[in-house]
């Protein structure tokens, strides 16, 4: 909320994320709050999974998580479409079904964190 977002075609990005099994980050930092809640339904309609990230740079900033949960609720995201709301067995099944890859895209800075098995 302190700087404007990047001027990108979010719908195209969401479609690509859905096509490639990329989980979309809801950045819970109160100065960011990306992905804008108005895009949550579009992400869900395309088949995206979401993940809520506090964007913490210190222990105290872990408390930002509640802002992400509020934005997910405002955007109508059900808990079963949020990776970090899954139990460990559910998450392991999800990751196994997706070729053991988990990619999280951050619209805040267009950072992409890639976690992949060595054989992926």
- Edge-first strand order for the sheet with 101-106 is 50-53, 23-27, 101-106, 111-116
What pTM did the predictor assign?
A: 0.75
pLDDT at residue 117 tops 60 = no
Contact between 65 and 29 under an 8 Å Cβ cutoff? The reply is no
- Per-residue pLDDT reduced to its tens digit, 51-90: 999 888 888 888 999 999 999 999 999 999 999 999 989 8
Q: Which CATH superfamily is domain 10-116 in?
A: Metal-dependent hydrolases (3.20.20.140)
Q: Is residue 61 within 8 Å of residue 55, measured between CB atoms?
A: yes
Q: CA 120, CA 106: separation in Å to the nearest integer?
A: 22
pLDDT at residue 101, rounded to an integer: 47
Q: How far apart are CA 85 and CA 79, in angstroms?
A: 6
């Amino acid at each position: 909320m302190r700087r404007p977002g990047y001027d990108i075609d979010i719908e195209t990005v969401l479609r690509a994320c859905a096509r490639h099994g990329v989980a979309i980050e809801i950045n819970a930092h109160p100065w960011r709050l990306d992905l804008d809640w108005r895009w949550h339904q579009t992400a869900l309609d395309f088949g995206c999974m979401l993940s809520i990230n506090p964007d913490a740079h210190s222990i105290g900033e872990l408390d930002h998580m509640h802002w992400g949960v509020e934005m997910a609720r405002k955007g109508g995201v059900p808990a079963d479409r949020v990776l970090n709301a899954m139990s460990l067995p559910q998450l392991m099944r999800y990751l196994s079904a997706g070729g053991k890859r988990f990619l999280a895209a951050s619209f805040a800075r267009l950072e992409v964190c890639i976690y992949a098995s060595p054989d992926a």
